[in-house]
A = this chain, B = another copy of it.
């Protein structure tokens, strides 16, 4: 099956969680909105799905995945669908629900990381909500960040310290890698401060990055850079001092 991923070009964003799963599995996929418009791809191809007045099951927003006749949106939902097909989750229902539960908690976490720079409205510029962002980010780096990291660190330890779900790598581990990489970029001081208390997550981040397919992907032009247009943005004034 050739999958088609649709996500805004130019940023990692939520689409990156899907890319990491597809890349780790060596799946056959097209990153449609990053392909040439002259070939019928690009952002216009993405917009056709969002704006198709006859689409009975239209996405609210990217990312979405086309898999045969199915068009699936919501990052965690896409990974729930892909997990067993890419052998990135154990097959039993309990483990699939558990991996999904972790992914949903990751999505909550990154929404809070995003909202540090956009606490008032996504439609406004960061510069137009900077005082609010400073307050929000202070709470995030001092309260929310250690609370979330502590939760994932404990679960990782209780599962043996290697992987979050079962006895092998799952998409939850890939997502945790992405969160740690994003925090490294956006909040280097805060993460440096919290790392000593989270050795398991630090080790997980390294082990995921060293997997052959992931390492090749991360070194390739397919891996977009973090930037001040994505979820994780490095505004030094929002980081811990």
Contact = CB atoms under 8 A, between A and B. Distances in A.
Interface residues of A, number: 42
Given A56-B158, A74-B104, A121 B97 contact: no
Interface of A is mostly: helix
A143 B121 CA distance: 10
A120 B137 CA distance: 8
Given A123-B143, A139-B121, A139-B123, A57 B132 contact: no
Contacts of A129: 135
B57 A98 contact: yes
A74 B136 contact: no
A70 B111 CA distance: 27
Given A77-B104, A123-B143, A139-B121, A72 B97 contact: yes
Contact of A119 (B60, B73, B132): B132
Contacts of A154: 58
A105 interface: yes
